[in-house]
Amino acid sequence: MFGTQGLITIITMTFLQKIAKYYSLGRWLLLDLIYYLHPNDEELKRAAGLSHGKDSNNKHKGVRHRNKHSNKDSNEAPEPFNIPRSTEISLETSTIKPTDLPILRFYPEFEWLLNFSLCTVVVYALTELYINFVIPKNELNLSMIWVLLSVCFCIHNLFSMVKLYFQTDDGGEMAIVIVFGFSFFVLAMIVLILDENLLELGLEAAYTNFSSNAQQFLQNQGIEDAPFMSKMTFKMILALIGSLFGAFLAWPGIRLAKMHRDAIRYRQDSPMTRLLIHFNLFSPLLIVVLWIKPAVRDVLVEGRLLRNKGSLMTDATFETLRVYIVLIICFLRFCLMRQYLQSYLNLAFQRSQELRKEAGKILNTEYQKIIARVYYYMVVVALQYMIPVLLLFFVTCLYKTLGNLNWGVYGANADAVIETNTTSVDTSSLEDIDSETVTALPPLPVQNDPVSEKVSQLSAAVSSLTSVFGPVFMRGVFSFATWWMSFVMFVTSGFGVVYYEYFSQSMTGN
């Protein structure tokens, strides 16, 4: 049953287990970035005029300590001392090497997530090629398991970072998460009551299809008059899930806005790069607009604003075009990741310059922490940048495959998609679902081979689930997920831009 797909999965798992130790996408993305070394005690004393020429032979030892990111002396603990904040201190730079990465927080999680995501993309691409060319009618798509696991890993890492916000003494991070969670719950409820003629998420058809199939399945199982989920409950569940994602993605969006501001500052000499960086920040807005029916579908598909010219594309072509646009935007964000990370690492130099404008004194250990904290926090920032991109990418893959869309933009195959704006769906009209799959599960055949028996049981379970969660339901749910992820990314990053451009400047007096 899973011959070719099983082979693809086994080869990819072998690569992930054996070769990823030497060739890691997560490690490659971080290597050779330039970061600032925090000055040791002797350099701080010389810069502040507190050193009188003694201990000059410790310079090499200080460099060695910085490379280990430690300010401890092998014989005695460093003695704290104060230096003027206006002290002009020259920060040395270094490039990130493989030996510098394991000590960083969340680095194992980051490396595993990126490596597993790369393998998921490979498995998904090869499986899509196999299914489109070989066309196995009743074969389970194993790549969907990989995609769902990648989504779970992204959510797990998001939850781990959010949990840290609730464990810190400063309640600012926790307050932001809570406020954004409640705000996005209200926004989700507003979005879910909008008419489908304005925002075409396909949830009305999804609920109708799901309720019809589920009730038919329960009746065939001999369960009569079973309580069923109402439409309000269905939308309430989606709103709660949407609010959780809004809360979890609040700080990643704000962080992206800060890195965007710094990336623009350091790319004054490259207009093309600045244009790509600007587009990268506001690209989720393009995805949001693609689901607004009067703005896009009425123009491209129904041709209402084009006099006597007709439609430019079919419904199926338009659905496929949206998938391509989302995937291209995700790829652009991935390509610009190192630009954003480098702008974040430059924050250490920026903070040292800001300290020079302040009056008073500062402890040497506090100054070193300000500089070193930027480097130690780098992997967390990398996760905050990549997790929203990976979530949007994999949710779009689920939307395309489980929603029974096609990759072809033009041609005969491009029109082989179920209508999304159907309000009532007959279960017998779903593709690749035989009318007998909605009946009671047949008894499993008695087989001597235990593997064949397990495969038969899995096939029966998949057929049962397919009869309830059909392509129309999946298309509606993951259409909403794709749109909502883009909406959250745009709102959070837009809030960050407004804050850093206006409020932060007014508070600092810049």
The predicted-structure confidence for 75-94, as pLDDT tens digits, reads as follows 455 578 888 888 888 888 89
Q: Which pLDDT score is estimated for 446?
A: 45
Report whether pLDDT(11) > 90.
Answer: no
Check residue 2 and give its pLDDT: 57
> What would the pLDDT profile of 180-228 be if each residue is shown by its tens digit?
999 999 999 999 998 888 998 989 988 888 888 877 777 777 776 666 7
pLDDT value at residue 170: 66
Summary count for the chain: helices (H), strands (E)? 20, 4
Nearest to 375 by CA among 15, 67, 169: 67
Q: Is the pLDDT of residue 136 over 70?
A: no
C-alpha–C-alpha distance, residues 457 and 462, integer Å: 9
Answer yes or no: are the C-beta atoms of 42 and 51 closer than 8 Å. yes
Q: Is the pLDDT of residue 288 over 80?
A: yes
Alpha-carbon torsion, ordered 493, 499, 505, 506, to 10 deg: 170
Quote the pLDDT of residue 289: 94
Band of the pLDDT at 437, cuts 50, 70, 90?
very low
Confidence at residue 439, expressed as pLDDT on a 0 to 100 scale: 44
Structure-model confidence comparison of residues 322 and 413, the more confident one:
322
Tell me which of 123 and 61 has the higher pLDDT.
123
Q: Are the CB atoms for 379 and 128 separated by under 8 Å?
A: no
- pLDDT at site 499: 86
Q: Cα–chain-centroid distance for residue 66? A: 34
> Within 13 Å and on the Cβ side, how many CA atoms surround 21?
3
The neighbour count for residue 202, using CB atoms within 10 Å, is 27
Do 115 and 20 touch, CB atoms closer than 8 A?
yes
The predicted pLDDT at position 456 comes to: 62
User: Is 291 a residue whose pLDDT tops 60?
Assistant: yes
User: So what's the pLDDT on residue 444?
Assistant: 43
Tokens representing residue 372 in the block: 């070193």
257 to 265, 274, 390, 424: CA distances (angstroms): 13, 14, 18, 43
Question: What Rg value do the Cα atoms of the chain yield, rounded?
Answer: 27
Segment 468-494 shows an average pLDDT of 92
pLDDT for the residue numbered 459: 61
What SS3 state is found at 83? strand
Where along the chain do its domains lie? 3-38+91-427+442-508
- pLDDT in the model for residue 309: 63
The residues that bridge with 423 in the sheet, in sequence order, are: none
Q: What is the DSSP letter of 437?
A: G
